Structure 1
Amino acid sequence: MDEQTATEAMDNFTAIWNTYTLEGEVVHWLACSLYAACRKGSTPTVGKGLMEGNCVSLTRILRSSKLSLIQFFSKMRKWADMSNLSQDFRLRMDRLERNFEVSTVIFRKFEPIFMDMFQNPQGAEPPRQPRSRKHRRLPCHISDVFKFCWTLFVYTKGLPPLYRADGHVSSDEPPPCVLERLCELHDGLVVEAKGIKQHYFKPYIQKLFQKQILKGHEELLTEMLDPQNFIDNNKAINREYEEYVLTVGDFDERVFLGADADEEIGTPRKIIQEMTTSQTAAQSQLQQHVEKSGSLAPSTPLTGRVYLKEKDLLVTPVSSATQSVGRLQSMVAGLRTAPSDHLMQIFKSCSRDPTESILARVKTLGQTFKEHYTNDSDDTPGAHIEILYYKILENVIVQETKRLHGRDMSVLLEQDIFHCSLMACCLEVVLFSY
């Protein structure tokens, strides 16, 4: 990354940090500032003038900051508002997010279609290279074919219009094609699929052959997966796609292929697994049993019913209150009506020690409550209120200290409305439990 972009990103981040309260991880907001600064710049090219952006990969920024794509889009919208970014940049981000949503849907459809043609890519490991002096190319593994097909698709769909057909369509009889069968299996439109293949996808592949990016039979557009061609084709397509991603500034759609795809995307996706023969037989037997008996329980004396809870538990106001009190008792077990040692250390670390004011405030509010409710006793709800108050106060202060990276908590702890509101919430919890 060039020094000018890094300096601009840091200056913008510092200005926003001093103006707004940034929630969450600081490095995530720094990634947003970095991406915005990268897309503002331009890079000189050989014979092409200037290129928008500085060729910094969005995927590398997100991986380095451990920020998922979905979180990135959410935080980037907030960053655009705080930084007052241009409308063109906002439109570009909207288009980027729409592309991501479309690609997510396409990839989910791509997996079952691929498994109708090939084996499950989640299956066996690829074969290891033999340890011999003479290097021999091995046939491509099914997982390599899966990644190659997806990368070829995401690269060709992003190519400019000049790669499309020029109106000339060969009158020769087309070779056998599985498009019609795949459309029947996956609710596709045969006419539309064949039109896209003939007028868009086929010209794309022909241009890639002409530019010697792909190797194989140039007339039939075959032999791309043959051992003598596949390794070079795979490297070439990945290299061309990486160049395209850096040039356009789009997200790398190969993120769906990685082992950490769920974390990098931000939402879990279901992995389609191929069922074995034994699993298929077991599912068939279970289906027959359910149809006959109408129950999932096996028809044997040892059904284990004694270990299951009753379907309709008898719920009464007394039992409900007992459960609530039990949960409350477990929350305050082992604690006392005073700040813990850890909380006292936090109070003393503040520039102005709020211990006396907090203790006095709690005593006053507690006394006001007891005067209107009941007499003082260790078994009354009043004691639980104070214990719960100190417990929650400690949790809040600890979390705020982590979020603000050790800033002084004196201002927060001196806010009377904060303590009164927290005490009122604890009061509501305890009274509801009883």
Structure 2
Amino acid sequence: MSNDGQEQELGAEVVSGAVVTDDTLEITKAKYTNLCRELNMDSQTEEDGWSMYLDVGQRCVMEGDSTMWLCCALFAACRRSSTPTVIGQDAMVRGNCVSLNNLLRCCQMSIYDFKTKIKQWCDMANLTKEFVSEIAVLDRKFSITFTLYKRFRNIFDKIFNCPPNEKRHSKYSSLHANHANGKCSYIKLDDICWRLFLCAKNQKPSTTVDLVTSFNLMICCIDLIYNNVLAERRTDLINPKFDGLPSNWTEVDFRANPHCILSYFCDMTEEAKAMKATTFREIMSSFFQTKTIYGHERTMLGLLSNENFERNLKSLNISYEQYVLSVGEFDERILSAYDASDHTNLNDQALRPPATPLTRKQDLPAQPAMAGEKFEPVLNATNNVKQLRAFDRITEPTDYVKQAGEEVNAKLLKIIEGIKSKFLAHYPSGEAKSRFRLAKSFYFYLLDQILQAEIKNKPEFDLKRLLVQKISLVNFNITLMACCVELVLEAYKTELKFPWVLKCFSISAFEFQKIIEIVVRHGSHEGCLNRSLIKHLNSIEETCLERLAWASDSPVWDMIATAPKPLPTHYDVNCDRTAGALQIFLRKVYLLGWLRILKLCSELSVVDKAPERIWHIFEHSITQKTDLMKDRHLDQIIMCAIYIYIRVSVHRSSPSHSLCLSLIDALTQELPMPLPLL
């Protein structure tokens, strides 16, 4: 058999496609046209969406219901356009004002399915990095709101009570309820409270980009509605078992003085109270001025009076609908149409700590005693913030660091000011200064710990000279501060996920991964960083090692270009005590690669001497064919190594051979880039 014939035979079982007939395409086109008519889609967006669908169909097999892929194509086309508004001559809104929820409803597609399919569509359609980033933010924002809604349900039901003559919350009940005598019902109380929060967080979106701040705002909204219920003497809506009730709330002469309940539900009460007195009051004042809310502006009462509550609910709905159409996001009112437990396909996975990384498990503190309890994202985030806030008393370099002299410390503070300017320019929140201040406090603590450890390990060095040398390293200080900023953003659970911090400070992933081990080593001292935050750092270090540091613009390629060939093996880098930056990087990559190989071999049931043999193929790829890693993922090389091993070592007709190949094919579908051809 010729070589060409062999190559064709080898590729036959892994390259498959579906032939789309003209009849099938005609049916799909008709389905798409009907969808666009139902949505009243403009002709340009309709044409763009169909062209995108056809283009992807030429290159990829779109398995499953075509309607889901049409939905993704149409959504992407909608997001590409912009619509002028009447606000001003140059005012525009993103998208063409087609509601995402309407699109999903017309396609009979769940939010969960959409979130899954649109991520695949981004890869299949080769959409821009900006669009992919927007989808990630959209996903994370909804995850934050979903998490908050579960807390909302729990808190609301602790404070308020459903009267015996009403049904508790059920699907769409609030949309069709008709309540006599004009009084606010339990269901509409629920609705007005949730919609008030949605409108409030969208009124100042820059102040609610994280879970902790958004939770504080939600508690402020619940607190306000609670005080309005007391003021209206609606004792039938109050849960008598709530611990925060005034002692005389049932008496005839009861007067509803301002009664704060933030401390009953918020671990960071002072921060929540500060928000209530400033940001929340500003938001409510703007609502009164724009007639989004009706009542008494000074006391913020009267919102639930018979004359106001219906128009307040209607006004909040209109305001929120306008916002959703202008930004093209999920309509989060849909959450209040269900009990939180009904969302079986939605979860707060995006807000959970990462799975335990394979590397440096020994650095993780022991599991806390409550680890077996159900994970609660808001509580976890609050604990992380409190952990870092233990250092906010440190506002300047420590006395130990100051021994380097005024000139050196002045240079250090100048570097920090430059970093601060970059952060304030990029961080989209009014809380930017306080977030950076917290990061800076932890930075000063870590710098002190790192320098003291250096001196202890090198007693022969002159203290001042070593301090001057270390502090003067601009890259060291920038990456250390960036790592502290990343910890603060992770603690608050912001919408900005790693590697945002790299873009903010113009740092390469190769440089950033160097600092993580140092921060973990000194940050875990005396329990300064908890298990959740250390896992996060270990996880992003693995992200750097497996993918980001191999980007084509990474400085690692300049080092590889000047390094002796072939690159050192794992034996060389492990035995070299004078290893440089490249050798240390490769040492980490080799360790991660070996652990991944062991894990994959176990999952694929490839045993005996397979891991060692697969390792040799993998190591050969790194040392001899390093360019294969450029803009690729470490797992792709490992997959290819496993594939080659199975091809060579396992009989092709055996069940294990076919099973392994099918599993590899399934696993590669989850990787962000195509497999290299070896």
Matching residue's letter, 2:261? L
Retained in 1: the 8 A contact 2:143–2:347? no
Pick from 229, 247, 267: which aligns with 2:326?
247
The match for 1:217 is 296
Pick from 107, 119, 130: which aligns with 1:77?
119
Retained in 2: the 8 A contact 1:10–1:33? yes
Pick from 13, 31, 42: which aligns with 2:82?
42
The match for 1:430 is none
Matches within 5 A, 1:133-148: 137-148=181-192
Matches within 5 A, 1:348-427: none
Q: CA separation of 1:264/1:38 partners in 2, compared to 1, >3 Å: closer, same or farther?
A: farther
Taking the aligned partners of 1:268 and 1:83, their CA distance within structure 2 comes to 27
Q: CA separation of 1:421/1:122 partners in 2, compared to 1, >3 Å: closer, same or farther?
A: farther
In structure 2, the residue corresponding to 1:158 is in which secondary structure?
helix
Q: CA separation of 1:163/1:209 partners in 2, compared to 1, >3 Å: closer, same or farther?
A: farther
Taking the aligned partners of 1:14 and 1:41, their CA distance within structure 2 comes to 19
Instruction: Give, in angstroms, the shift of residue 421 of structure 1.
Output: 6.9
Matches within 5 A, 1:223-372: 223-259=302-338, 266-267=345-346
Q: CA separation of 1:262/1:221 partners in 2, compared to 1, >3 Å: closer, same or farther?
A: same
Q: CA separation of 1:26/1:163 partners in 2, compared to 1, >3 Å: closer, same or farther?
A: closer
Taking the aligned partners of 1:189 and 1:215, their CA distance within structure 2 comes to 30
Number of positions where the alignment pairs a residue of Structure 1 with one of Structure 2? 260
Task: Tell me the TM-score normalized by structure 1.
Answer: 0.54
The match for 1:156 is 200
CA deviation string 1:32-90 (max 9, x = no partner): 11110001001121143232210011111112212222221221111111111111111
Q: CA separation of 1:34/1:419 partners in 2, compared to 1, >3 Å: closer, same or farther?
A: farther
Q: CA separation of 1:419/1:237 partners in 2, compared to 1, >3 Å: closer, same or farther?
A: farther
Retained in 2: the 8 A contact 1:43–1:54? yes
Gaps of 5+ in 2: 1-40, 209-255, 349-651, 660-678
The match for 1:18 is 58
Task: Tell me the TM-score normalized by structure 2.
Answer: 0.35
Q: CA separation of 1:65/1:264 partners in 2, compared to 1, >3 Å: closer, same or farther?
A: farther
Retained in 2: the 8 A contact 1:68–1:263? no
Retained in 1: the 8 A contact 2:295–2:301? yes
The match for 1:28 is 68
Q: CA separation of 1:420/1:80 partners in 2, compared to 1, >3 Å: closer, same or farther?
A: same
In structure 2, the residue corresponding to 1:43 is in which secondary structure?
strand
Structure 1 or 2, whichever has the larger Rg, is 1
Q: CA separation of 1:23/1:204 partners in 2, compared to 1, >3 Å: closer, same or farther?
A: same
Taking the aligned partners of 1:252 and 1:140, their CA distance within structure 2 comes to 24
Pick from 104, 114, 123: which aligns with 2:168?
123
Taking the aligned partners of 1:161 and 1:59, their CA distance within structure 2 comes to 20
The match for 2:647 is none
Pick from 146, 153, 159: which aligns with 1:111?
153
Q: CA separation of 1:36/1:265 partners in 2, compared to 1, >3 Å: closer, same or farther?
A: farther
Q: CA separation of 1:217/1:265 partners in 2, compared to 1, >3 Å: closer, same or farther?
A: farther
Structure 1 position 62 matched with structure 2 position 104: yes
The match for 2:417 is none
Taking the aligned partners of 1:128 and 1:148, their CA distance within structure 2 comes to 15
In structure 2, the residue corresponding to 1:75 is in which secondary structure?
helix
In structure 2, the residue corresponding to 1:29 is in which secondary structure?
helix
Taking the aligned partners of 1:13 and 1:212, their CA distance within structure 2 comes to 44
Instruction: Give, in angstroms, the shift of residue 264 of structure 1.
Output: 7.5
Instruction: Give, in angstroms, the shift of residue 210 of structure 1.
Output: 0.9
In structure 2, the residue corresponding to 1:23 is in which secondary structure?
coil
Q: CA separation of 1:246/1:235 partners in 2, compared to 1, >3 Å: closer, same or farther?
A: same
Task: Give the alignment's Cα RMSD to 1 decimal.
Answer: 3.3
Matching residue's letter, 1:101? S
Retained in 2: the 8 A contact 1:217–1:223? yes
Taking the aligned partners of 1:204 and 1:241, their CA distance within structure 2 comes to 14
The match for 2:49 is 9
Gaps of 5+ in 1: 131-136, 165-173, 270-417, 426-434
Deviates more, 1:141-150 or 1:251-260: 251-260
CA deviation string 1:145-176 (max 9, x = no partner): 10111111011111137999xxxxxxxxx952
In structure 2, the residue corresponding to 1:240 is in which secondary structure?
helix
Taking the aligned partners of 1:163 and 1:90, their CA distance within structure 2 comes to 23
Retained in 2: the 8 A contact 1:216–1:229? yes
Retained in 2: the 8 A contact 1:262–1:268? no
Taking the aligned partners of 1:22 and 1:99, their CA distance within structure 2 comes to 28
Taking the aligned partners of 1:192 and 1:64, their CA distance within structure 2 comes to 43
Taking the aligned partners of 2:266 and 2:300, their CA distance within structure 1 comes to 26
CA deviation string 1:240-293 (max 9, x = no partner): 000001111111111211249878883389xxxxxxxxxxxxxxxxxxxxxxxx
The match for 1:179 is 261
In structure 2, the residue corresponding to 1:177 is in which secondary structure?
coil
